């Protein structure tokens, strides 16, 4: 998943959470505000009604659908005042809670401070002809003494229903959310294009980095601190890697080459010594053994240098070569040597098998396979070489293995540790195969050994 998609997804979830919470909060805020406003309106109406009665406007004129006035004849003013004072002590002005039992709300007395009597808020259901069903109403009921007379006033106002509030709030929140998500998507596209461009460039630099090329990778020109740091870090690392590679390459080459000269000196001295006519057989054998050891040392150094070169990917030319020709050529080359060792070679080579790899490496690969088959053969043994479009098969007779076949591909691992071979031939084969994505398999059935190299395409 791309970074920008993942970030956007997180922002989306976060937005969803915030808007959900905001929606719930908005709903309660709006509902409370509406309720408070409804109550205020009722109180205002009450005052107005009171002032109208005081100005002796006829009650019929004041009475509307939502206002009901009942003059109370039989209430004693003195008694009422007394009762009222009692109730004042009971009710605290700060309390405006809902009475759970009768669903009656007490309004703070401050609201109606100009009234000597209490005002009571409540909810009620009234049948509306217009809608044809019961609707909730807010009701303010109060008994007021106006000009020596008591009036019971009841004012109702329709309540803005919770469902409607919910609808409105959710509509608003949903729209906001939609715009937010839209902004988020556009934002992430812009961010991906603009902000993450140096990042993409860094990735490109890493992907195209080649340890062998002299060319320095271009780092993005950016003012973002993090990318700047990655850039300079990468630059340092790449320069260091290139330098190390160069040093290692030079070292392996030099080590191998420099070693050959002293070996040549020693071998020459021994060869001159061999020319002396007064050598006895024992001395001659000592010289011969030393010669062998020196030859081996020289070959070892060459083979190790070759392995290092393959590992360092110094053979990179990927040309389409005629693999059939490479195999035929090597079979012809080693045929005589196999005959000298009294081995028979049988080759079955399909023409024109093409393969993409360095021609020198292809040659080394085939030559090493054949050398291996000759070297580890038995007396009067045989070698079979088969090249098919998809695989090269080298089969030979030989002594049974003491170690697992896979181990033969490891450097210096030999079936017979004391044998004269270097133990590098198959390691080189394996390395070449690995570098060129060829699969290689060693099979052994009793005294028959088979190496299969699977060719691509």
Partner 1 sequence: MKVLIVEDEQELQKNICAYLSGGEYVCETAANFQEAQDRVVSFAYDLVLLDLMLPDGNGLNVLRLVKECQPGTGVLIVSAKNALDDRIVGLDMGADDYLTKPFHLSELNARLKAIYRRRKLQGKSVIEFNEIAINTENHEVTIHNQPIVLTMREYELLLYFVTNKNRVLTKQVIAEHLWGDNVDFLDSFDFVYQHIKNLRKKIIQYGASDYIKTMYGVGYKFSE
Instruction: Write out the residues near partner 1 by the rule CB under 8 A.
Output: 253, 256-258, 260-261, 263-269, 271-272, 274-275, 279, 281-282, 284-285, 287-288, 291-292, 294-295, 298-299, 302, 306, 309, 333-334, 336-337, 340-341, 360, 367, 371, 374-375, 419-422, 425
Closest distance of CB 320 from partner 1, Å: 21
Contacts of 423 (CB under 8 A, 6+ apart): 411, 412, 413, 414
* DSSP letters spanning 222-239: ---HHHHHHHHHHHHHHH
Closest distance of CB 200 from partner 1, Å: 40
Contacts of 457 (CB under 8 A, 6+ apart): 390
Residue with smaller CB distance to partner 1, 172 or 287: 287
Closest distance of CB 418 from partner 1, Å: 11
Residue with smaller CB distance to partner 1, 100 or 340: 340
Nearest-CA neighbor of 84 among 150, 155, 154, 156?
Answer: 150
The phi and psi torsions of 429 (rounded to 5 degrees) equal: -55, -45
Residue with smaller CB distance to partner 1, 228 or 299: 299
Q: Which two tokens stand for residue 336?
A: 């005589």
Residue with smaller CB distance to partner 1, 167 or 342: 342
Residue with smaller CB distance to partner 1, 290 or 454: 290
Residue with smaller CB distance to partner 1, 137 or 334: 334
Residue with smaller CB distance to partner 1, 189 or 264: 264
Nearest-CA neighbor of 253 among 301, 212, 315?
Answer: 301
Closest distance of CB 251 from partner 1, Å: 15
Closest distance of CB 327 from partner 1, Å: 15
Closest distance of CB 378 from partner 1, Å: 14
Nearest-CA neighbor of 196 among 172, 154, 226?
Answer: 226
Closest distance of CB 9 from partner 1, Å: 55
Q: What is the dihedral of CA 120, 124, 127, 129, to 10 degrees?
A: 60
Nearest-CA neighbor of 147 among 57, 53, 80?
Answer: 53
Q: What does the longest C-alpha to C-alpha distance in the chain come to?
A: 161
Nearest-CA neighbor of 106 among 141, 156, 151, 135?
Answer: 141
Closest distance of CB 331 from partner 1, Å: 12
Residue 98 DSSP label: B
Residue with smaller CB distance to partner 1, 236 or 296: 296
Per the DSSP assignment, residues forming a β-bridge with 138 are 123, 157
In sequence order, what E strands does 313-390 have?
320-322, 344-349, 354-356, 382-388
Residue with smaller CB distance to partner 1, 85 or 276: 276
Pair type for strands 344-349 and 382-388: parallel
Closest distance of CB 267 from partner 1, Å: 5
**Which helix (DSSP H) or strand (DSSP E) does residue 47 occupy?**
helix 3-54
């Amino acid at each position: 998943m791309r970074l920008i998609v993942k970030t956007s997804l997180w922002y989306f979830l976060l937005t969803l959470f915030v808007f959900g919470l905001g929606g719930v909060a908005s709903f309660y805020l709006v509902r409370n505000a509406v309720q408070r406003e409804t109550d205020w309106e009722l109180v205002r109406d009450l005052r107005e009604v009171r002032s109208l009665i005081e100005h002796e406007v006829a009650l019929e004129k004041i009475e509307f659908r939502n206002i009901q006035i009942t003059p109370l004849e039989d209430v004693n003013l003195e008694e009422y005042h007394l009762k009222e004072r009692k109730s004042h002590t009971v009710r605290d002005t700060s309390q405006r809670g809902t009475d759970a039992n009768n669903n009656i709300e007490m309004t703070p007395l401050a609201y109606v401070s100009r009234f000597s009597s209490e005002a009571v808020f409540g909810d009620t259901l009234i049948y509306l002809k217009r809608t044809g069903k019961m609707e909730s109403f807010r009701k303010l009921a109060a008994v007021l003494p106006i000009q020596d007379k008591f009036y019971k006033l009841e004012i109702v106002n329709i309540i803005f229903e919770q469902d409607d509030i919910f609808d409105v709030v959710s509509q608003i929140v949903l729209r906001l959310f939609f715009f937010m998500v839209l902004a988020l998507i556009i934002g992430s596209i812009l961010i991906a294009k603009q902000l993450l461009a140096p990042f993409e460039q860094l990735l490109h630099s890493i992907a195209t980095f080649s340890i062998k090329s002299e060319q320095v990778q271009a780092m993005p020109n950016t003012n973002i601190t993090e990318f700047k740091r990655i850039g300079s870090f990468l630059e340092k690392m790449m320069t260091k890697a290139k330098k190390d590679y160069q040093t290692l390459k030079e070292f392996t080459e030099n080590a191998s080459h420099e070693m050959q000269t002293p070996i040549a000196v020693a071998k020459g001295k021994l060869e001159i010594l061999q020319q002396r006519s007064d050598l006895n057989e024992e001395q001659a054998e000592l010289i011969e053994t030393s010669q062998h050891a020196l030859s081996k040392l020289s070959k070892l150094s060459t083979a190790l240098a070759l392995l290092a070169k393959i590992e360092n990917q110094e053979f990179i030319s990927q040309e389409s070569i005629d693999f059939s020709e490479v195999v035929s050529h090597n079979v012809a080359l080693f045929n005589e040597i196999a005959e000298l060792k009294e081995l028979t070679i049988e080759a079955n080579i399909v023409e024109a098998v093409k393969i993409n790899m360095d021609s020198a490496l292809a040659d080394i690969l085939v030559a090493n396979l054949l050398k291996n088959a000759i070297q580890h053969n038995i007396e009067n043994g045989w070698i079979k070489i088969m090249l098919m479009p998809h695989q090269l098969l080298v089969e030979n007779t030989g002594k049974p293995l003491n170690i697992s076949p896979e181990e033969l591909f490891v450097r210096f691992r030999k079936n017979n540790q004391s044998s004269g071979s270097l133990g590098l031939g198959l390691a080189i084969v394996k390395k070449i195969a690995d570098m060129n994505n060829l699969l290689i398999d060693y099979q052994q059935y009793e005294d028959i050994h088979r190496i299969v190299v699977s060719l691509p395409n």
